[in-house]
Amino acid sequence: MHRFFLPPHLTTGDRVQLSETDALHAARVLRLQPGDPVVILDGAGGELGGVVESCGRREVSVTIQQRRRHPRRTAEITLIQAVAKTKAMDGLLQKAVELGVARAVPLMAAHCVSQPDAPGDKQAKWQTLAIEAAKQCGNPWLTKIEEPLTPAHWLQRRESFDLLLIGSLIDPPQHPRAVFDAFVAQHGRKPVSVGILVGPEGDFSAAEYAAFRAAGAQSITLGPLVLRVETAVAAFVAVVQHELTAG
């Protein structure tokens, strides 16, 4: 089933137009024809099923036949990720979308090899990548990608999470389950918001680690081996999702 994306305000009628980019792809690459079934995601939990009504070179109309609403996850994960090299950054953001991360905050940390000189352009590129990843995996909730900022500026925002976690090889190892069990024991429920901090290829600096700990971040281990940054993100999110959903 071919999936496309349209924001909610463009999906209200019984007949919708694909974006120009999606229309070009539908007509020239997928070679869709009238009557072909398609799915449209609105990024806000909506999944619309329909059929192609007309298909031109730059304009594709879809007749909507059914609508489905997907509930939000009971807990949301925010990935606070130091900017990695281009290929690795693209890959880890794709994995974050596939694993259901609600939001990603890129950090320009001290040891980042790549330091964006046009944060707005980078944000737009990464948001487009997130849309493409959502279409590929069928995630009805679009991951919001923010503009890159420094760790100091992010800390100044004083974002609040039920749990703020950081993957670390330098701190005494703490199993993720121990952190979640302690939270449940104290609050009588599982966390509904979790922030996870992942460093760049050169890891966070000692000063950055100290600042994150001062802001309430708890260090956890992802195992004894040094992971590539994209592997660390996938492992970290998967572990947190498991702890959030396990009975």
Residue 223 is predicted with a pLDDT of 87
Chain segment 182-211, per-residue pLDDT in tens: 999 999 999 999 999 999 988 999 999 999
**DSSP state letter for 8:** G
Residue 173 is predicted with a pLDDT of 74
Residue 56 is predicted with a pLDDT of 84
Q: Residue holding tokens 């398609």?
A: 38
What are the chain's domains?
Answer: 2-69 (2.40.240.20), 76-245 (3.40.1280.10)
pTM: 0.93
Chain segment 212-232, per-residue pLDDT in tens: 999 999 999 998 888 999 999
Q: Record the tokens describing residue 65, joined without a space.
A: 């036949």
Least confident of 147-156, 165-174, 209-218: 165-174
The phi, psi pair for 126, rounded to 5°, reads -70, -35
Residue 23 confidence class, pLDDT cut points 50, 70, 90: very high
Mean pLDDT of 51-61: 90
Residue 119 is predicted with a pLDDT of 83
Per cent of the chain over pLDDT 90 is 85
Chain segment 59-75, per-residue pLDDT in tens: 999 999 999 999 988 89
State how far the Cα of 64 lies from the Cα of 48, in Å rounded to an integer.
7
Residue 1 is predicted with a pLDDT of 82
